[in-house]
């Protein structure tokens, strides 16, 4: 975490509304324009050279003297709406810098390509988002010679150490890729513990592994991984930050040095966030604080209803973590709230789950989460369909598990519909 993150001293609610856009930059327009252009015109040949010196060499002074003004070159290298989103997200993540991407997976893939080399080992928390799982287990391990090692309970020091030793035996550890809370089981990672172990491994192997945390499930207002020792925070902005299920986007926040390396690779891959999506994102972020608060209170109401229902076998909602558990202590230290996505299971398996799901109308049967509407899905046959059963069940996703992302509807309507659905099971 940096004390100089942009907007330091202001509340996140305030930063989410205004950070990153100055009306003086756009004819005084109260709201940012969408800058739809692929390229930018230079005032002179010397200015063009100076912009390139600034972009590639970090030059701040023009060859003919005087400071080099801010300027853009070509939209794959950066564009105004992208800069605005990145500034706003840096402020919310309390980071020196942020890189914006055209999806969450695009951000995660770029992070992996930037910091993993053939022969390296890496450790990931299980379960991890299925796209990340596929990236690691079906691309990086078999095709790029990266040794991947999973850890199921990353609040348990013994388990994290065992995974680290197994990984270290196969090659230097370059990265701890964590996701907390996990999708869809809400398993928590003790970020400070992982950082401590990464420091120890760094002392042994001569180079400290980086720690990245996928913060999608809680989002920037409920959890700040950088404050707990992570080097990089990854967010699928498609979810809570976008908040209306109408776009795909992602971000990575961290130190200027690490984000600089990620942006250099993004320029080559060409997977940045484009102007219209960036503009929608700026608009969505303005309501992030109120949406987060309302979704959290709705989720507590719905989770409490489900927990008390005789047909429900279990509810994995963060607010219900056992008082004396290690996960509870980490939750209270690390999270500002329980979020609004959790899973639950009915007694029985796939057949019972399907009978329930087919009764629902207000609750939409769809993958994804974090939108204004309530979404429900059956992970084993959808989001985690192509994760082998053994790996899926070992990390707590059974044939009866359903994932619920509680939205902004009135909770009484959600509960009335779920009550009818449960009667039909």
Ligand X SMILES: *Cc1c(COP(=O)(O)O)cnc(C)c1O
Q: Would you name the residues annotated as active-site residues?
A: 76, 129, 214, 239
Q: Is residue 179 involved in binding ligand X (CB under 6 A)?
A: yes
Q: Is 271 in the site for ligand X (CB under 6 A)?
A: no
Stretch that binds ligand X, among 41-49, 86-94, 163-171, 213-221 (CB under 6 A): 213-221
Considering only residues 98, 216, 334, 405, which one is a binding residue for ligand X as defined by CB under 6 A?
A: 216
Does the protein bind ligand X through residue 131 (CB under 6 A)? yes
Asked if 406 contacts 357 with a C-beta cutoff of 8 angstroms, the reply is no
103 near ligand X, judged by CB under 6 A: yes
Q: Is 212 in the site for ligand X (CB under 6 A)?
A: no
Does residue 255 have a cis bond before it (omega within 30 degrees)?
Answer: no
Interacting residues of 198 by C-beta distance below 8 A, sequence separation 6+: 173, 176, 208, 209, 210, 211
Please, what is the minimum distance in Å from the beta carbon of residue 341 to ligand X? Answer: 8
CB of 229 to ligand X, least distance (A): 20
Check residue 105 for interaction with ligand X (CB under 6 A).
yes
Interface with ligand X, residue 236, by CB under 6 A: yes
Q: Sketch the per residue contact string, 297 through 326, with ligand X: x for CB under 6 A, - otherwise.
A: ------------------------------
217/305 with CB nearer ligand X: 217
Among 75, 81, 183, 298, binds ligand X (CB under 6 A): 183
Going from the C-alpha of 70 to that of each of 42, 138, 344, the distances in angstroms are 12, 42, 50
Q: Per-residue string for binding with ligand X, 111-130, x by CB under 6 A?
A: ------------------x-
Binders of ligand X: how many residues, by CB under 6 A? Answer: 15
Position among 238, 245, 298, 374 found at the interface with ligand X (CB under 6 A): 238
Judged by CB under 6 A, the residue of 88, 94, 239, 266 near ligand X is 239
* Residue choice 248, 265, 366, 415 for contact with ligand X (CB under 6 A): 248
Give yes or no for residue 214 binding ligand X (CB under 6 A): yes
Q: Closest separation between CB of residue 184 and ligand X, Å?
A: 9
The smaller minimum CB distance to ligand X, of residues 239 and 263, is found at: 239
The answer to the question of residue 32 lying near ligand X (CB under 6 A) is no
Residue number with CB closer to ligand X (81 or 102): 102
Report the residue number, 179 or 231, with the smaller CB distance to ligand X: 179
Question: Which residue ranges make up the site for ligand X (CB under 6 A)?
Answer: 103-105, 129, 131, 179, 183, 214, 216-217, 236, 238-239, 248, 250
């Amino acid at each position: 975490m940096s004390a100089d993150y942009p907007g330091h001293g202001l509340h996140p609610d305030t930063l989410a509304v205004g950070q990153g856009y100055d009306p003086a930059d756009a004819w005084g327009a109260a709201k940012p324009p969408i800058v739809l252009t692929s390229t930018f015109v230079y005032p002179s040949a010397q200015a063009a050279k100076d912009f390139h010196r600034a972009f590639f060499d970090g030059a701040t002074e023009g060859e003919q003297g005087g400071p080099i003004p801010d300027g853009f070159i070509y939209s794959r290298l950066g564009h105004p709406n992208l800069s605005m989103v990145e500034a706003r997200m840096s402020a919310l993540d309390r980071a020196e810098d942020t890189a914006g991407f055209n999806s969450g997976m695009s951000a995660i893939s770029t992070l992996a390509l930037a910091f993993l080399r053939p022969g390296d080992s890496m450790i990931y928390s299980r379960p991890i988002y299925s796209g990340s799982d596929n990236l690691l287990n079906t691309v990086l391990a078999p095709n790029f010679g990266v040794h991947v090692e999973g850890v199921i309970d990353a609040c348990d020091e013994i388990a994290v150490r065992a995974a680290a030793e197994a990984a270290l035996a196969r090659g230097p550890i370059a990265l701890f890729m964590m996701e907390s809370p996990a999708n869809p089981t809400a398993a928590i990672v003790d970020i400070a513990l992982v950082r401590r172990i990464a420091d120890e491994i760094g002392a042994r192997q001569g180079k400290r592994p980086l720690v990245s945390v996928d913060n999608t499930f809680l989002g920037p207002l409920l959890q700040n991984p950088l404050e707990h020792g992570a080097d990089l925070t990854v967010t699928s902005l498609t979810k809570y930050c976008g908040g209306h299920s109408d776009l795909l986007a992602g971000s990575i926040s961290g130190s200027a040095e690490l984000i600089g390396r990620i942006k250099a690779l993004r320029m080559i891959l060409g997977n940045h966030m484009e102007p219209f999506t960036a503009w929608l994102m700026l608009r969505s972020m303005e309501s992030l604080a109120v949406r987060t608060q309302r979704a959290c209170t709705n989720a507590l109401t719905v989770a409490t209803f489900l927990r008390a229902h005789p047909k429900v076998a279990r509810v994995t909602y963060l607010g219900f973590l056992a008082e004396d558990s290690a996960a509870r202590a980490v939750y209270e230290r690390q999270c500002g709230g329980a979020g609004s996505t959790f899973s639950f299971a009915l007694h029985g398996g796939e057949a019972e789950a399907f009978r329930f799901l087919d009764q629902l109308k207000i609750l939409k049967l769809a993958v994804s989460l974090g939108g204004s509407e309530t979404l429900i899905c059956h992970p084993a046959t959808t989001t985690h369909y192509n994760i082998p059963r053994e790996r899926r069940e070992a990390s707590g996703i059974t044939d009866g598990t359903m994932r619920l992302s509680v939205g902004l509807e009135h909770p009484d309507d959600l509960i009335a519909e779920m009550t009818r659905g449960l009667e039909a099971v």
